[in-house]
Amino acid sequence: MGLIIGIESTAHTFSFGAVSSDGSDVLPSSSSLYRPEEGGIHPREAADHHVQSAGDLLRTAMGNWGANKDDIDAIAFSQGPGLGPCLRVGGAVARSMSMALDVPLVGVNHCVAHIEIGRRMTGCDDPILLYVSGGNTQVIARASGRYRVLGETLDIGIGNMLDKFGRSIGIPFPGGPEIERKASRFIQENGSEHLLDLPYAVHGTDMAFSGILGAAIAHAERGEDPGLVCHSLQEVSFASCVEVGERAMALTGKSEILLGGGVACNQRIRTMTSIMAQERGGEAYWPERPLCVDNGTMIAELGRRMLDSGIETIMTNSAIDPSLRTDMTPVIWS
Ligand code: ATP
Ligand code: FE2
């Protein structure tokens, strides 16, 4: 069994995943999530968490896959974008494994990995990507050998916005899943027609989320039902992403839209995207939840495509790049 191992360490998640070298198998990741005791993510503490988890996680992953070190054909790792101290841990583990096992190393663009695992798992071919995660909110299309960013958030990522709102009403990180639960409980009990007035910020194909965050916190502080605030926050912020996604489909003539990133776990954004796509005669896709959030398997899958296209990262080019952008990576695979 030949395997390509993928190592993810851009932010709060440290994860090992794998795919078979011939592309036939996609193996589950073993992941550990750093959860700050209070406040937002502290990069150095997250990096310490990654260092402490690496050994046990790798042993668990290899055990789950029934693999041993002779099965490893190559090592892929997240080269960027992300938090420097966190990326550095994944880079160091990847370089050490590549050298110790004498197998190729390939540094991958984390954002592009979210796209490629979605294409691999859903079978969609040339989609608009709605990349909705903690740190990123981008609308992306492939054109002239790159994944081009057609629109993006002008301030914070939609997931960070949800996490910050969650924190303000006492929900620990990550806030998104509990906000979804509160919103759906509210709808079950009260119906979906109640909606608070929240700022809706779409500028052409860009979005912004700090205004809606401040307004939602203010509603909660005034004693508004938290379920109603969560429901309204989801409806309005997701609508802005779906509107930009639709504009991108109209502009490019593409008929597929693919959700990726942690917020793509949310059933409501999935439903809204599906309705929009179907109304235009298109189709919406998303991978299963463990492959939406940060995971090593998506890094392995992009690594496989790059290695198959003859791309390998030599040691001297393997430094991490915290500010790598989606459109900086040439895309030469099909
Ligand atoms: P990136 O580096 O790509 O920006 P990330 O570090 O933000 O990724 P992800 O694992 O892709 O990490 O996304 C995490 C985000 O997803 C968190 O903000 C979390 O609240 C959000 N999230 C997870 N599940 C849900 C859900 N069911 N509904 C809404 N948001 C969710
Ligand atoms: Fe991510």
Say whether both 251 and 178 belong to one domain.
Answer: yes
d(CA 332, CA 166): 40
Asked, for residue 334, whether it belongs to a domain, the answer is: no
Structural domain contains residue 120: no
The answer to whether the CB of 264 falls within 8 A of the CB of 286 is yes
* 252 CB-contact burial (10 Å; exposed 0-12 / middle 13-18 / buried 19+): middle
Q: Kindly report the CATH number assigned to the domain that includes residue 160.
A: 3.30.420.40
Same domain, 37 and 53: yes
201 plus 64 within the same structural domain:
no
Ligand 1 atom with the smallest distance to the CA of 114 is 3
Token readout for 244 is 């930009």
Question: Is the CB of 137 within 6 Å of ligand 1?
Answer: no
Per-residue b or e along 196-224, where b marks 16 or more CB atoms closer than 10 Å to that residue's CB: bebbebeeebbbbbbebbebbbebbeeee
Centroid of ligand 2 to alpha carbon of 149 (angstroms)? 16
Q: What domain range includes position 141?
A: 126-287
Indicate the Cα dihedral angle 303, 273, 293, 334, nearest 10°.
0
CA distances from 184 to 47, 117, 181, 223, 229 (A): 35, 28, 5, 19, 12
Q: What are the counts of helices (DSSP H) followed by strands (DSSP E) for the chain? A: 10, 12
What's this model's pTM, rounded to 2 decimal places?
0.95
**Residues in the 5 Å CB sphere of ion ligand 2:** 133, 294
Is residue 59 located within the same domain as residue 17? yes
| pLDDT tens for each residue of the chain, 334 residues long | 799 999 999 999 999 999 999 999 999 999 999 998 877 789 999 999 999 999 999 999 999 999 999 999 999 999 999 999 999 999 999 999 999 999 999 999 999 999 999 999 999 999 999 999 999 999 999 999 999 999 999 999 999 999 999 999 999 999 999 999 999 999 999 998 999 999 999 999 999 999 999 999 999 999 999 999 999 999 999 999 999 999 999 999 999 999 999 999 999 999 999 999 999 999 999 999 999 999 999 999 999 999 999 999 999 999 999 999 999 999 999 9
Q: How far apart are CA 233 and CA 209, in angstroms?
A: 10
